[in-house]
Amino acid sequence: MNIFLELVHFLQAPNELLRWFIDLLGSFGLPQWILAIISALIIIGTVIGVFLGLFALMSVMERKILARAQNRYGPNRVGFFCWRLCGLFQPVADGIKMITKEDLVPRTADQVVHLLAPVVMMIPALMVLAIIPYGRDMVPADLNAGILFFFAVGAGTEVAVFMAGWASNNKYSVLGAMRAIAQMISYEIPLVIAAIIAAMISGSLSPSAIVAAQGGFAWGFVPQWFVLTPWGFAACLLFYIAALAESNRSPFDLPEGESELVAGHLTEYSGFKYATFFMAEYIGMFAVCGMLVTLFLGGWQAPLPFLTIIPSWCWFFGKVCFVAFTMVWVRATLPRLRIDHMLAFAWKFLLPMSFAAFISAACWHYAGRGPLAWLLSLAIVGIPYLVLGTAFSNRFAVSRRTYQFSE
């Protein structure tokens, strides 16, 4: 019975297991600086290992979800020896294929920059994972300005995309890179404003403090997550849409429009370099999903009081997987946008709506957070949405396509 209770305790707080292991090593007389290095390496290895596992699982589950939406089977053959296991070993086959494929580099390409681009793409995607609170007292680096760190480091992916397009010395790669940078800059502004709204209400740029500000339950059972307020729902939706564009997810995957740009900035990449870009995009998607969960969905907080017995990190990763599933669902549902429509949507709709949500959150806070504050906040968000939505729909109305044939 005691062993079972200890196991439950370690599941509730895995950091206690790490502390116990470090204390065990310290009992052998190891110096503190070696123990600090070992602790840091264990934390880094655990975070990277978890997200690499999520990447492998997501790569096969996305294809299965898309296959289900399109009434087909998807990958279901690759297994372990004679067991197919529903094709869950497909990522292993993909990894072996990518590692063994020949690395082709154009003769006129910049060899050094061409090699460094996927590395520069991967580093920010891994670094931003350090400031996300994965559970109660489970933050690898609890920074007071964690939100600022997240967006400052995450902006490095734009440099990597431009490096890949420019170094390839290919017109499709350069056009794809410039299109990707224009998209990232356009959608990063509403993304940052939506994050600032949550930081403003919580009074801190620390992700842990933002999660703590969403703790507790109203009337004993309603979680006080920001998404359950008028301004929070609007900011969460804005953050989600901008995150789709920042993650290069459909319907905003125009930088890799196959019918226009072959594969965009990835046209001249193959083998493990291409796999590194692919992996960085997925890890970046998980990072932005984790930030959305942290800012608006209560982070590791349980949705109901009696569910707090479940380990906090289970709630966090469950919410992250749900948000990632909705991104796949959107990919299976919506067609790819046109580049001018996509940029106009960012500047003419998302940006004004983000400012409206900002003002709505401020009014909600200073009006006392009561019923009057809710109505005022809802009006400040709802009226611009109706006006901008109507104007934007009329400007880019979908019309019936007419075909003209020669006589």
Instruction: Please write the tens of the pLDDT for every residue from 119-136.
Output: 888 999 899 999 999 988
**Pair 124, 266 in one domain:** yes
Helices (H), 74-170: 90-100, 111-127, 146-154, 156-167
The pLDDT of residue 405 is 58
**Pair 124, 268 in one domain:** yes
**Pair 245, 116 in one domain:** yes
Structure tokens at 259: 């019918």
**Pair 64, 184 in one domain:** no
The pLDDT of residue 5 is 45
Indicate the pTM of the whole model.
0.89
The pLDDT of residue 166 is 85
The pLDDT of residue 143 is 87
Domain boundary among 25, 55, 90: 90
**Pair 64, 108 in one domain:** no
**Pair 324, 225 in one domain:** yes
- H/E element holding 347? none
Structure tokens at 214: 């969403």
Helix, strand and coil in the chain, % to nearest 5: 70, 0, 25
**Pair 281, 185 in one domain:** yes
184 within some domain: yes
The ranges of the chain with pLDDT < 70 are: 1-13, 79, 81-84, 255-263, 396-407
Within 10 A of 387 (CB to CB), how many other CB atoms are there? 12
The pLDDT of residue 294 is 94
> pLDDT tens digits, residue range 234-278?
999 999 999 998 888 878 877 666 555 666 778 888 888 888 888
405 within some domain: no
The pLDDT of residue 210 is 93
Please give the tally of structural domains in the chain: 2
Angle of CA points 227, 231, 233, to nearest 5°: 35
> Rg of the chain over CA atoms, in angstroms?
23
Domain boundary among 40, 67, 90: 90
**Pair 166, 264 in one domain:** yes
335 within some domain: yes
- Strands annotated E in 111-237: 217-218, 222-223
400 within some domain: no
CA pair distance 203, 201, nearest whole angstrom: 5
**Pair 192, 170 in one domain:** yes
399 within some domain: no
66 within some domain: yes
Structure tokens at 276: 């590194």
CA pair distance 37, 45, nearest whole angstrom: 12
233 within some domain: yes
| DSSP assignment letter at 89 | T
348 within some domain: yes
The pLDDT of residue 24 is 79
**Pair 167, 302 in one domain:** yes
Domain boundary among 90, 111, 146: 90
User: What is the residue type of 19?
Assistant: R
**Pair 243, 293 in one domain:** yes
- Burial 56-75, CB ≥16 within 10 A → b, else e: bebbbbbbbbeeeeeeeebb
CA pair distance 364, 200, nearest whole angstrom: 12
CA pair distance 17, 109, nearest whole angstrom: 49
Place of tokens 């200073």: 366
**Pair 129, 22 in one domain:** no
The domain in which residue 68 lies consists of 2-90
Structure tokens at 97: 């294929």
The pLDDT of residue 326 is 92
The pLDDT of residue 259 is 58
